[in-house]
Amino acid sequence: MASSSKATELTAAEAYELPWVEKYRPLSLDDVVGNTDTIDRLKVIAKDGNCPHIIISGMPGIGKTTSIHCLAHALLGDAYKEGVLELNASDERGIDVVRNKIKAFAQKKVTLPPGRHKIVILDEADSMTGGAQQAMRRTMEVYSNSTRFALACNTSNKIIEPIQSRCAILRYSKLTDAEILKRLVEICRIEDVQYNDEGLAALIFTSEGDMRQAINNLQSTWSGFGFVSGTNVFKVCDQPHPVAIQAIIRSCQAGNIEAALEKLTELWDQGYSAVDIVTTIFRVVKSFNELPEYTKLEFIKEIGWTHMRILEGVGTIVQLAGLIARLCKFNMKPELFQL
């Protein structure tokens, strides 16, 4: 999610103390990883200077807020500090903030490059109250000649329709494994991190397309163990090791319920929650090439039902054992169940 260019602007001590996710945060749109088509649209906006109101939606850690900041830097240049107001989920963003703080910023006179507008950046905009969004709708309308709004959110459907209709909506997809791998290798080279292929694969597996998570896990593993290996990554992330989950799946495929339950109990005794276990089972099954396609589909269906029950509050080992029993049953001979 980041580039090494920012480190050059910092003193050696500051760069050393910064979390890597901030140290390698992109400063220009060229450095942002993934979502190439959408980034290209932002580059056109930055070049033309004709910036509409924008909503960027997508899962966490894929560069939504970073893209908006890079766009603001490209549009405003040296006037960035005076021309940008940023509010995020840690700020109070009720109707009073919109009426006072945002409205006051929209009214403020600022010297900007010709044809440019002030920019209000609202991070986690989907957590704003309905009243605040209604007040902001009116502010967007009245001050559209001087101010542009850029909203970042996880789900755009939580933004009220009147605001959506005033904005260009850009949707970010999660990053691919190759995109995350490329950036992790760059950071490892710059920071002289010792790693093996299993360690990088584990970082990609645990991040689930979230670049911020991948970089944080990389730094935590390196600072904690001094070597990025698969085992060390899963210790830091505190997730069941996929190898253990694969052993459970193989036992289920063979119809060996005793072995499968024994391995499940080992994971449970290590303190992993039901959600941790069932989520990792799903992610392993999804990419487990040893399973025939039909069996994989049936397994995913059963895992999905169990996941739903666990999220509803039934997070016990009995629920997980029931899942294992149903998975084992798929590959057992029907005559074993006849009376």
Q: What is the pLDDT along the chain (339 residues), one digit of tens a residue?
A: 544 444 444 444 454 578 899 999 988 888 888 888 989 999 998 888 888 899 999 898 888 889 999 999 998 888 888 888 888 766 777 777 777 888 888 888 888 888 888 899 988 888 888 888 888 888 888 888 888 999 999 888 888 899 999 888 999 988 988 999 999 999 999 999 999 999 999 999 888 888 999 999 999 999 888 899 988 998 888 888 888 999 999 999 988 899 999 999 999 998 888 998 999 999 999 888 888 898 899 999 999 999 999 999 988 999 999 999 999 988 776 666 665
Quick check: is 75 in a domain?
yes
CA distances from 63 to 121, 224, 259 (A): 14, 26, 43
Q: How far apart are CA 37 and CA 64, in angstroms?
A: 14
What one-character-per-residue DSSP string does 48-103 give? Answer: H-----EEEE-STTSSHHHHHHHHHHHHHGGGHHHHEEEE-TTS--SHHHIIIIIH
Residue 238 to residue 170: CA distance in whole angstroms = 34
Regarding whether 277 and 161 lie in a shared domain, the answer is: no
Query: Does one domain contain both 251 and 153?
Result: no
Distance CA 331, CA 108 (A): 70
Give the whole-angstrom CA distance, residue 242 versus residue 262: 16
Among 125, 147, 171, the domain-final residue is: 171
What CATH number is associated with residue 166?
A: 3.40.50.300
* Residue 255 within any structural domain of the chain: yes
What is the domain count for the chain?
2
Measured from the Cβ of residue 37, the count of other Cβ atoms closer than 10 Å reads 8
Q: Is residue 177 part of a domain?
A: no
126 and 158 Cβ atoms separated by less than 8 Å: yes
**Per the domain annotation, does 218 fall within a domain?**
no
Per the domain annotation, does 309 fall within a domain?
Answer: yes
Are residues 151 and 64 part of one domain? yes
Q: Which domain holds residue 52?
A: 35-171
- Does some domain include residue 202? no
Cα(83)–Cα(105) distance, rounded to whole angstroms?
A: 9
* CA dihedral of residues 6, 11, 17, 19 (deg, nearest 10): 0
Residue 236 in domain: no
Asked if residue 65 lies in contact with residue 152, where contact means CB atoms within 8 angstroms, the answer is yes
269 in the same domain as 158: no
Give 251's contacts (C-beta < 8 A, 6+ positions apart): 257, 259, 260, 263, 328
List the beta bridge partners of residue 153: 57
Q: What is the CATH number of the domain that holds 254?
A: 1.20.272.10
pTM metric for this prediction: 0.80
